[in-house]
A = this chain, B = another copy of it.
Amino acid sequence: MKKAEPARPRDKHLVTILMAAEEEFARHGLKGARMQAIADRAGLPKANVHYYFRNKNRLYLAVLNNIMTTWNDFFRGVTVEDDPAVALDTFIRQKVRLSFQQPTASRLFANEIIQGAPYLSEYLREVMRPWVDERARIITGWIDAGKMPATDPVLLIFMIWATTQHYADFQAQILGIMDRDTYDEQLMEEVSEFVSATILTGIGLTPVRPDR
């Protein structure tokens, strides 16, 4: 029974700290975030945070890395064989769901990009650019196959990113304007429907009508 699960308590603290750090870094950025605030949010003494992550920079990198890994899992395989309307609709709905359910991750990413992506410039070049290139090639494939009208694939991807992430990054503004306290499932559904239908129609595809 001894040492049966040696890494568990450690992992538990690691996760707690990472979550607290994600929130603080998302709100205040790397320079603005305070180690004390992260420790308080995690319910641990500040020295404990330093014990696990050595310093502020390593903690920030760990959080960023954690987010990027999670996000990559969402990037599923779409091929030229798929139906563009279905594929784009699925992608848009996934992104909206992510924005509603994990807004902090999106906000931290946004913060990093706004600051000029000092810690992600390599990631942009090495991971995101190839990812966009590949999706763009698939979309071009659809256009060449006559499955959809001609459009700019890269600008289309930017538009999907912008409209979906907006609900995570600008949550405070949206809630304020809509006179609401929180997001709910119904709003998420309405937004998904509106964004998907408007973009698909906008590029000349017939919108998908899910579960009807």
Give me the interface of A with B, judged by CB distance under 8 Å. 26-34, 107, 110-111, 113-117, 121, 124-125, 128-129, 132, 151-152, 154-156, 158-159, 161-163, 165-167, 169-170, 172-174, 176-179, 190-191, 194-195, 197-204
Contacts and interface: CB of A to CB of B under 8 A. Distances in A.
A152 B197 CA distance: 12
Copies in the complex: 2
Nearest to A116: B172
Contacts of A167: 158
Contacts of A152: 190, 194
Given A177-B132, A202-B202, A27 B115 contact: yes
Contacts of A110: 110, 114, 169-170
Contact of A195 (B117, B159, B176, B195): B159
B27 A176 contact: no
A132 B178 CA distance: 9
Given A28-B115, A113-B173, A198 B203 contact: yes
